Amino acid sequence: VIGAGTAGLAAERHARAAGARTLLIDPAFAGTTCATVGCMPSKLLIAAADVAHTLGRAGRFGIEARGRPDGRRVMARLRKERDRFVAGVKKSFRALPAGVRIEATARFAAPGRLLLDDGRSVAARAIVIATGAAPVVPKPFRGLGDRLLTNETLFEMADLPASLGVIGAGPLGLEMAQALARLGVEVTVFDQARALAGLPEGELSERLRRALAGEFALHLGVEVRARAEPGFVLLEWSGSGSGTHRVERLLVAAGRAPRLDGLALDAAGLRLDRAGVPVFDPGTLQCGDAPVFIAGDANDRRPVLHEATAEGTIAGRNAAAWPDLGHAGRMVPLALAFTRPEAATVGEVPDMADGAHVSADASYDDQGRARVEAREGGLVRLFATSDGGRLVAAQIAAPGGGHLAHLLAWAIAARMTAAEVLARPFYHPTLEEGLQPALRALCAAARSPAPWDRDDRPPPGA
Ligand SMILES: Cc1cc2nc3c(=O)[nH]c(=O)nc-3n(C[C@H](O)[C@H](O)[C@H](O)COP(=O)(O)OP(=O)(O)OC[C@H]3O[C@@H](n4cnc5c(N)ncnc54)[C@H](O)[C@@H]3O)c2cc1C
């Protein structure tokens, strides 16, 4: 197994459980991306930002509150908690049976044969590629020295900068932009496109943009150039608008690319797609018909943690059992950005031009529970089959969007119709309740009767 991240650890464990003799190869065994520079430190930063934000708007609830973020303490707490998570991963490295762990960088020498950077070579009956992904730094932003940040360096800052530019309005860029803005950093975000946080361009992205407006500056549809100046980065942009701005640091969150460059995949005899990723079967994770499997961010299909774990499991089991492969029924796609409000996409969003699907919206602009918490504003769009109203997908930019996304993912996985979801209890007052108007509209559009024994009006007063 090449790579001891989330996918690689799962692959090694499951291959060994299936009876294989395994080797887990990684140059550092430093901890997974998730624990060291990904999910956990980013959520720790957001948690601090949530506290600052709550204090900042306490007056809306009639509460006098004061508090200013202390950047050094925010970053120190982040790293302390992050290191706890990393220690947990390192404990699992230590629990590996003797001889499994190989500290080296691997590349293919031939099909079934790896060459390690310490000169050793490994022959294997089957190989799992689980090398993860690395941040992409486009050309205009190289050469900025330590003024340039990526997710690999952001969390090492001793203190918060006074100002930050962010390149990329995807999930990672926007999560960090909003969190840092809430912690008092003057943030400016740029993107060539107009789609936000993984949502499609159009109404959903626009809803999220409106919700974020006022927290930080957002320039969409622009090309940015950057130049290092003493103590600053000078940003100059043009496109839908133009301008210049000086920032103390620049976070490049312009996407992450599979880390396959150094693997010498040509020597493995694998067929590659145009992006240089081996062509693989998502059900088995096998690359072509070779005894090679690819899991996690390395295959660039669903670069999120629960999928890395699942794919590691499938790849590890199949590598051990090759050529007797199991074909996995993959999970409902679920992608989530922890912005406030949260943005999510669930399921496979259908092409509405095919006439086989209907959609309906639930507005959170005046939703009871959202209003109670002063978090109103947002939209959920549901998609269902026009024949029967079976839920297939959802797009979300709404308060509590992470919870709504899970609920909907589970309903989609259970192949539930809108009417069947409506027949379930909805507690009052909750954000979940806000889905009911869209579910009813789907029943009407799909000519599928809503349950006769449920009231279909919003609760009185909310
Ligand atoms: C800032 C950020 C926030 C995120 N937040 C979330 C979130 O909230 N929720 C979520 O679900 N996902 C999130 N993700 C995504 C998630 O972290 C990844 O999907 C997941 O960690 C991928 O795991 P992996 O095993 O594929 O890769 P990794 O954990 O990166 O493991 C790859 C390993 O391969 C090793 N390697 C590379 N090349 C070689 C080689 N040639 N030889 C040997 N070893 C090699 C590397 O050293 C590394 O240890 C986030 C990612 C980032 C960057």
Q: What DSSP element (H or E) covers 10?
A: helix 6-17
Q: What is the DSSP letter of 168?
A: -
User: 251 by DSSP, 3-state: which?
Assistant: strand
Please tell me the predicted confidence (pLDDT) of residue 354. Answer: 87
How many CB atoms sit inside 10 A of residue 147's CB?
A: 19
Please tell me the predicted confidence (pLDDT) of residue 358. Answer: 98
Distance between CA atoms of residues 352 and 203, nearest Å? 15
Which distant-in-sequence residues (6+ apart) come within 8 Å of 337 by Cβ?
A: 170, 171, 174, 175, 197, 198, 343, 344
User: 149 by DSSP, 3-state: which?
Assistant: strand
Cis previous bond, 41, omega within 30: no
Mean pLDDT, residues 197-216 taken together? 95
Is the model's pLDDT at 461 over the cut of 80? no
User: Ligand 1 centroid vs 283 CA: distance in angstroms?
Assistant: 21
Is the model's pLDDT at 460 over the cut of 90? no
Tokens describing residue 153:
């360096």
Q: How confident is the model at residue 248 (pLDDT cuts 50, 70, 90)?
A: very high
Among residues 377, 401, 402, 381, the alpha carbon closest in space to that of 392 is found at: 381
User: Ligand 1 centroid vs 62 CA: distance in angstroms?
Assistant: 44
Answer for the pair 196, 379: CB distance below 8 angstroms, yes or no.
no
Please tell me the predicted confidence (pLDDT) of residue 155. Answer: 98
Answer for the pair 161, 248: CB distance below 8 angstroms, yes or no.
yes
Portion of the chain with pLDDT greater than 70, in percent: 99
Pairing of strands 256-258, 292-294: unpaired
Among residues 218, 252, 219, the alpha carbon closest in space to that of 233 is found at: 252
Atom of ligand 1 nearest to the CA of 132: 27
Q: What is the pLDDT of residues 101-151, one digit of tens each?
A: 999 999 999 999 999 999 999 999 999 999 999 999 999 999 999 999 999
Q: What DSSP element (H or E) covers 444?
A: helix 436-445
Is the model's pLDDT at 459 over the cut of 90? no
Mean pLDDT, residues 189-206 taken together? 96
Answer yes or no: is the C-beta of 6 below 6 A from any ligand 1 atom: yes
Q: Is the pTM of this model over 0.85?
A: yes
User: Ligand 1 centroid vs 432 CA: distance in angstroms?
Assistant: 32
Please tell me the predicted confidence (pLDDT) of residue 450. Answer: 86
Q: What is the DSSP letter of 439?
A: H
Q: How confident is the model at residue 342 (pLDDT cuts 50, 70, 90)?
A: very high
Q: Best mutation site among 9, 39, 107 for ligand 1, i.e. most ligand atoms within 8 A of its Cβ?
A: 39
Is the model's pLDDT at 317 over the cut of 90? yes
Is the model's pLDDT at 458 over the cut of 80? no
Answer yes or no: is the C-beta of 32 below 6 A from any ligand 1 atom: yes
> Token pair 């996407």 is at which residue?
255
Which distant-in-sequence residues (6+ apart) come within 8 Å of 445 by Cβ?
A: 358, 359, 360, 384, 386, 389
Q: Which residues pair with 115 in a beta bridge?
A: 107, 121
Q: What is the pLDDT of residues 268-290, one digit of tens each?
A: 999 999 999 999 999 999 999 99
Q: What is the pLDDT of residues 45-73, one digit of tens each?
A: 999 999 999 999 999 999 999 889 999 99
- Protein residue with its CA nearest to atom 8 in ligand 1: 39
Q: What is the pLDDT of residues 11-27, one digit of tens each?
A: 999 999 999 999 999 99
Radius of gyration, alpha carbons of the chain? 24
Distance between CA atoms of residues 165 and 75, nearest Å? 19
Answer for the pair 178, 215: CB distance below 8 angstroms, yes or no.
yes
Please tell me the predicted confidence (pLDDT) of residue 454. Answer: 83
Mean pLDDT, residues 381-391 taken together? 98
Which distant-in-sequence residues (6+ apart) come within 8 Å of 44 by Cβ?
A: 77, 78, 81, 82
- Protein residue with its CA nearest to atom 38 in ligand 1: 131
Distance between CA atoms of residues 110 and 268, nearest Å? 5
Q: How confident is the model at residue 418 (pLDDT cuts 50, 70, 90)?
A: very high
Q: What is the pLDDT of residues 82-102, one digit of tens each?
A: 999 999 999 999 999 999 999
Contacts from 88-94 at CB under 8 Å and sequence distance 24+? 88/35, 89/9, 89/31, 89/32, 89/35, 90/29, 90/31, 92/9, 93/4, 93/29
User: 29 by DSSP, 3-state: which?
Assistant: coil
Q: Which residue type, as a one-letter code, is found at position 318?
A: N
Is the model's pLDDT at 5 over the cut of 80? yes
Please tell me the predicted confidence (pLDDT) of residue 374. Answer: 95
Please tell me the predicted confidence (pLDDT) of residue 277. Answer: 98
Tokens describing residue 148:
């340039």
Q: What is the pLDDT of residues 26-51, one digit of tens each?
A: 999 999 999 999 999 999 999 999 99
Give the chain's mean pLDDT.
Answer: 97
Read off φ and ψ for residue 354, nearest 5 degrees: -75, -10
Q: How confident is the model at residue 321 (pLDDT cuts 50, 70, 90)?
A: very high
Mean pLDDT, residues 330-339 taken together? 97
Please tell me the predicted confidence (pLDDT) of residue 118. Answer: 97
User: Ligand 1 centroid vs 371 CA: distance in angstroms?
Assistant: 38
Please tell me the predicted confidence (pLDDT) of residue 457. Answer: 72
User: Ligand 1 centroid vs 415 CA: distance in angstroms?
Assistant: 31
Mean pLDDT, residues 337-358 taken together? 97
Distance between CA atoms of residues 408 and 22, nearest Å? 38
Q: Best mutation site among 14, 23, 33 for ligand 1, i.e. most ligand atoms within 8 A of its Cβ?
A: 33
